[in-house]
Amino acid sequence: MDELLSWWGKTVGQNHALRLVDICLRGAGQVMLQNNPVTGFLFLLGIFWSVSVEGAAAVAIGAIVGLVVATMTAILLGSDETSIDQGLFGFNGILVGVAVPTFLVMGPETWFLLIIGAAFSTIAMLAISHVTKLWGVPALTFPFVLTTWFLVLAAYSFGHLPIAGMGPPALPSPFAEPADLSAASFLNACLKSISQVFLINNAVTGIIFIVALLASSVYAAAFAVAGAMVAVAVASFLGANPADMSAGLYGFSPVLTAIALGCVFFEPSWRVALFALLGTVVAVIVQGALDAAIAPLGVPTFTAAFVFVTWLFLLPKLNLKPHGHEPVSDGIMTGK
Amino acid sequence: MDELLSWWGKTVGQNHALRLVDICLRGAGQVMLQNNPVTGFLFLLGIFWSVSVEGAAAVAIGAIVGLVVATMTAILLGSDETSIDQGLFGFNGILVGVAVPTFLVMGPETWFLLIIGAAFSTIAMLAISHVTKLWGVPALTFPFVLTTWFLVLAAYSFGHLPIAGMGPPALPSPFAEPADLSAASFLNACLKSISQVFLINNAVTGIIFIVALLASSVYAAAFAVAGAMVAVAVASFLGANPADMSAGLYGFSPVLTAIALGCVFFEPSWRVALFALLGTVVAVIVQGALDAAIAPLGVPTFTAAFVFVTWLFLLPKLNLKPHGHEPVSDGIMTGK
Amino acid sequence: MDELLSWWGKTVGQNHALRLVDICLRGAGQVMLQNNPVTGFLFLLGIFWSVSVEGAAAVAIGAIVGLVVATMTAILLGSDETSIDQGLFGFNGILVGVAVPTFLVMGPETWFLLIIGAAFSTIAMLAISHVTKLWGVPALTFPFVLTTWFLVLAAYSFGHLPIAGMGPPALPSPFAEPADLSAASFLNACLKSISQVFLINNAVTGIIFIVALLASSVYAAAFAVAGAMVAVAVASFLGANPADMSAGLYGFSPVLTAIALGCVFFEPSWRVALFALLGTVVAVIVQGALDAAIAPLGVPTFTAAFVFVTWLFLLPKLNLKPHGHEPVSDGIMTGK
């Protein structure tokens, strides 16, 4: 792996087009906080696998368009070179590009919306980072969440933006029929919790994503798997809707929270693992809370639970030894 | 014009009552980010024109009361003299004073609400500016938006605050019957997009407001007109409700966004115009999104779309040459 | 009183278990911004009185568990010693502990929720204080509000967290049958406005709480009583629901606002009293507004009106002579 990355680094340095490919692949990798082009490539592979099985080509095209538009916008606006090179302006764009075709029917107006949204995600990234930098925490995926909330909410107001797969808006009502998961359902729910980080409901994609994380960091893969297991177990204990659990909808934010707290913004240790465990449990509760809170609007929560919980757990600036302070010092940095 | 302003400046310097009039007129002008008493006077004229046509005297009285109460509150609290002189404590108050009689039936309790609200808008201005100053952006009309949300939402809880023209609360539902605008409707929609900045649905008032902007800045007038045209065109392309478009409801926030980004907080240039164009398009999408998001509460969005989009486009602190950094450096400043 | 406190201080200094008791009692006292163990003890007594009358033992147990878990979490995380000693990590936890058994049916899953929530309230306190410190204001009870919103909203998503006393979610609808309060109802409403600060609907508890405040500060007691009277009078003038007024639901946030603005963060004077009066009136309006805004979610507003209004009135950093600047300089400090 190290040799591959070193060869890639040399090749990229000699070619402008390849450098853009490298930046975009790192942008894909940053969705799970990994600054690694191989990880990003495997994430795209996982998306393409699901797309080829489901026949939803627009999701794959949207992912590439969103990634490239957001990255090019950052370059055109003359943003910080180091941040661009680490892919920090790509991960929100690729998520916008996956989300729009997942929830809306694609046509000229929705493609226009997707492109404007991807470009705007970069402006939102710059804006939100400017504020969170004052707090000493990263923007995480909040630019994606905010941008995509605007885009999919707008679909309720504009007749040429037809809704494909969300809503309808409804007042929250208590869920009354919890049921236990079988062992096979549990495993399935864990894998889909990982694939749903990219809004994909596919267990094989979940496995590809774990391999992608392994290519970057054993810790990241371990915290992702552990986060998924904790999330499904807690959701089941609290009596969540089995269909939602099986689709991974209770796990994607806790998975990201576990990675972020467990090995990205703190250095892994037993103390940090315990702290990340508490964060992961809280992320499950907050996921349930936000699902209820957003129900009247008929749009998804996206990764809002991850963002809010991770911010709240990073903001105390706890000195969880042996924790280096650097990783949280720059608001725009989301990976090492 | 320059001679008129110079004579006025000399006259005002010699008389306390006239100084208050000057501050209040500038406060009216600051609703569209213009520190100019003639512009403010013409804005009031535009309001009075609509009021005399529609017979809604309470709106005119409310405007004056809100403007004076908010300004006097700032003076009584010993706020910054320069900001007071520029009318920066008046624009939120006049908007509160126009909004309350527009949405509620006036009576002793609603007048009490209006006066408390206007006074509070100055405290909200001081508070919000204190926070946005840390971010290096102005408060814009957020004090008005926040204050008036409190006031009109309270009308659902209190029986002596009867609702006149808003709601009913409803879950968002996709709008299904978009239709093209005729050329006449398009022109009408553009003019009303400008009058709706003061919550007024009147094309003649829109024309008076354009003249008022011309009295202060040709750029401001040009960006207002261009912003209105872009807004109605984009809303129409995305398939907005024709009745809402014709009433200017998709244009008032984009108009303010175009003025703010195009010639107030950046110096006009082609690069800035492109940036303002993107901001204006995003403001239309965000207007649609907020309309859906707020539907369950049965209250208007006011200028929230303008505030959120303009903040997001100012926060990156882009160095769009030939842009001077000064205009965004003081949180409380909203005009030059 | 001074001798009692001095003897207690000496005793506490010699014994670790007693020190924890002292910290916890101060934590209870800080719910009304009083750093005083006797006040805290009497607050607990007021809770126990209501619990013994109503037979709701889980509320009393929850209060103690929430208080101890939140305080212990702060100690385990190595938080600031001075803040711990002042009880600043206990008041959010005790409120979480009272709220969960008030709104949910207790069982293994809800006790788990309560304990996780109490621990999380301390992390939220550290996180929110970190942000509000930049603004120069305290976190107030926002950690409690945010945490408990998450917990009770989650009850709509999880089948093993049954709802006892809140909701159902409903769109806001104008309240149409205001009625005048009798003198007895008015008194009752005032006392319950004070007891509802701890979510308790009991006039005797309100009296015990006034005595508890007297033990710490005559001003605090006076502003609490005056705040309650202003709140009920304004709510009645605006035409609030008499049942809600009588249960103290329009008064608890204004009571806290009156104490905070009148004698905790500013030094009492006529000028400050007028400012606090305006804040108290605004808090009643904001209470009504938030009740409407949160109705579709079917959860309580908790003390959000107090938090938002007090922040907005503290943020201007007005120099209301003879006001010392110290009390608002440290974000985490909520009492003297």
pLDDT in tens, C124-158: 999 999 999 999 999 999 999 999 999 999 999 99
Q: Are A174 and C154 a contacting pair at CB < 8 A?
A: no
Reported confidence tier of residue C321, pLDDT bands at 50, 70, 90:
low
Q: Are A282 and C120 a contacting pair at CB < 8 A?
A: yes
Indicate the range of A114-118, A317-321, B96-100 predicted with least confidence: A317-321
Q: Are B178 and A159 a contacting pair at CB < 8 A?
A: yes
DSSP state string for A86-133: TTTTTHHHHHHHHHHHHHB--SHHHHHHHHHHHHHHHHHHHHHHHHHH
pLDDT given at position B4: 80
Closest to B238 (Cα-Cα) out of C134, A112, C281, A215: A112
Distance from C-alpha of B312 to C-alpha of B296, rounded to nearest angstrom: 25
Residue C2 has pLDDT above 90, yes or no: no
Give the one of B136, B292, B314 whose C-beta lies nearest to A297's C-beta. Answer: B292
pLDDT in tens, C30-45: 999 999 999 999 999 9
**What is the rounded average pLDDT for all residues in chain C?**
93
Q: Residue B202 in 3-state DSSP?
A: coil
Do residues C17 and C23 touch, judged by C-beta distance below 8 A? no
**Between helices B142-154 and C270-294, what is the axis angle to 10°?**
70
Instruction: Say whether residue A218 is in contact with chain B using an 8 A CB cutoff.
Output: no
pLDDT given at position C247: 97
For the four alpha carbons of B315, B317, B322 and B325, in that order, the dihedral sign comes to: positive
pLDDT in tens, C10-69: 888 788 889 999 999 999 999 999 999 999 999 999 999 999 998 889 999 999 999 999
Task: Please name the residue that has the structure tokens 């005002």.
Answer: B12
Query: What phi and psi, each to the nearest 5 degrees, are found at residue C80?
Result: -55, 125
Closest to C76 (Cα-Cα) out of A135, A226, A278: A278
**What is the rounded average pLDDT for all residues in chain B?**
93
Chain C interface disruption, residue of B157, B299, B301, most C CBs within 10 A: B157
Reported confidence tier of residue C103, pLDDT bands at 50, 70, 90:
very high
Query: Across residues C72-101, what is the average pLDDT?
Result: 96
Query: Across residues A160-177, what is the average pLDDT?
Result: 94
Our CA-based measurement puts residue C330 at a distance from the nearest CA of chain B, in whole angstroms, of 16
Give the one of B239, B282, B317 whose C-beta lies nearest to A161's C-beta. Answer: B239
**If you compute the radius of gyration of chain A from its CA atoms, what whole number of angstroms results?**
19
Instruction: Say whether residue A176 is in contact with chain C using an 8 A CB cutoff.
Output: yes
Angle CA B123–B128–B133, to nearest 5: 130
Instruction: Say whether residue B173 is in contact with chain C using an 8 A CB cutoff.
Output: no
Helix (H) or strand (E) holding B22: helix B16-29
**Please, which residues have CB within 8 angstroms of residue B15's CB and are 6 or more apart in sequence?**
none
Distance from C-alpha of A275 to C-alpha of B1, rounded to nearest angstrom: 66
Start-to-end CA span in chain C (Å): 18
Do residues A223 and A258 touch, judged by C-beta distance below 8 A? yes
Residue B140 has pLDDT above 80, yes or no: yes
Q: Are A285 and C116 a contacting pair at CB < 8 A?
A: yes
- Its ipTM equals 0.93
C159 to chain A: nearest residue by CA? A239
Query: What phi and psi, each to the nearest 5 degrees, are found at residue A104?
Result: -120, 155
pLDDT in tens, B270-318: 999 999 999 999 999 999 999 999 999 999 999 999 999 999 999 998 8
DSSP C283: H
Distance from C-alpha of B195 to C-alpha of B205, rounded to nearest angstrom: 6
**Please, which residues have CB within 8 angstroms of residue B243's CB and are 6 or more apart in sequence?**
none
Give the one of C176, C315, C318 whose C-beta lies nearest to B159's C-beta. Answer: C176
Q: Are C158 and A175 a contacting pair at CB < 8 A?
A: yes
Query: Across residues B246-265, what is the average pLDDT?
Result: 97
Residue B325 has pLDDT above 60, yes or no: no
Residue B328 has pLDDT above 70, yes or no: no
Distance from C-alpha of B236 to C-alpha of C286, rounded to nearest angstrom: 37
The residue that leads in pLDDT, B17 or B336, is B17
Give the one of C127, C154, C159 whose C-beta lies nearest to A176's C-beta. Answer: C159
pLDDT given at position B330: 42
Instruction: Say whether residue C239 is in contact with chain A using an 8 A CB cutoff.
Output: no
DSSP A181: P
Q: Are A170 and B171 a contacting pair at CB < 8 A?
A: yes
Distance from C-alpha of C112 to C-alpha of C118, rounded to nearest angstrom: 10
In this structure, whether the domain defined by C17-331 belongs to CATH 1.10.10.10 is answered with no
Distance from C-alpha of A20 to C-alpha of A2, rounded to nearest angstrom: 21
pLDDT given at position B321: 52
Give the one of B126, B128, B157 whose C-beta lies nearest to C291's C-beta. Answer: B157
Q: Are B119 and C318 a contacting pair at CB < 8 A?
A: no
Residue A150 has pLDDT above 50, yes or no: yes
Chain C interface disruption, residue of A130, A177, A238, most C CBs within 10 A: A238
Do residues A1 and A215 touch, judged by C-beta distance below 8 A? yes
Query: Across residues B193-215, what is the average pLDDT?
Result: 98
Chain A interface disruption, residue of C72, C92, C157, most A CBs within 10 A: C157
Chains that touch B (3 or more CB pairs under 8 A): A, C
pLDDT given at position C334: 44
| A112, two tokens | 């226009």
Residue C336 has pLDDT above 50, yes or no: no
Residue C70 has pLDDT above 60, yes or no: yes
Instruction: Say whether residue B88 is in contact with chain C using an 8 A CB cutoff.
Output: no
Residue A334 has pLDDT above 60, yes or no: no
What are the boundaries of each domain within chain B?
Answer: 17-331
B143 to chain C: nearest residue by CA? C312
pLDDT given at position B167: 87
Distance from C-alpha of C259 to C-alpha of C236, rounded to nearest angstrom: 21
pLDDT given at position B123: 98
Residue A7 has pLDDT above 80, yes or no: yes
DSSP B261: I
Which residues of chain A are within 8 Å of residue B176 when distances are taken between CB atoms?
A: 159
Measured from the Cβ of residue B165, the count of other Cβ atoms closer than 10 Å reads 10
Instruction: Say whether residue B315 is in contact with chain A using an 8 A CB cutoff.
Output: yes
**What is the rounded average pLDDT for all residues in chain A?**
93
Q: Residue A179 in 3-state DSSP?
A: coil
Residue A259 has pLDDT above 50, yes or no: yes
Angle CA C155–C161–C166, to nearest 5: 55
Residue A111 has pLDDT above 70, yes or no: yes
Which residues of chain C are within 8 Å of residue A319 when distances are taken between CB atoms?
A: 78
Chain A interface disruption, residue of C80, C150, C160, most A CBs within 10 A: C150
| C179, two tokens | 């009625």
DSSP state string for C38-59: HHHHHHHHHHHHHHHHHT-HHH
C297 to chain A: nearest residue by CA? A293
**Between helices B142-154 and B108-135, what is the axis angle to 10°?**
150
Closest to B196 (Cα-Cα) out of B224, B170, B219: B224
pLDDT given at position C335: 41
Residue B322 has pLDDT above 60, yes or no: no
Q: What percent of chain B has pLDDT over 90?
A: 86
Chains that touch C (3 or more CB pairs under 8 A): A, B
- Cα-based torsion angle of the residue sequence B16, B18, B22, B27 in order, rounded to the nearest 10 degrees: 70
pLDDT in tens, A25-54: 999 999 999 999 999 999 999 999 999 998
Amino acid at site C227: G
Indicate the range of A314-323, B9-18, C304-313 predicted with least confidence: A314-323
pLDDT given at position B333: 42
Measured from the Cβ of residue B295, the count of other Cβ atoms closer than 10 Å reads 24
Reported confidence tier of residue C251, pLDDT bands at 50, 70, 90:
very high
Q: Are A293 and C298 a contacting pair at CB < 8 A?
A: no
Instruction: Say whether residue A76 is in contact with chain C using an 8 A CB cutoff.
Output: no
Q: Are B239 and A112 a contacting pair at CB < 8 A?
A: no
Reported confidence tier of residue A321, pLDDT bands at 50, 70, 90:
low
Reported confidence tier of residue A10, pLDDT bands at 50, 70, 90:
confident
Reported confidence tier of residue B334, pLDDT bands at 50, 70, 90:
very low
**Between helices A2-13 and A37-54, what is the axis angle to 10°?**
100
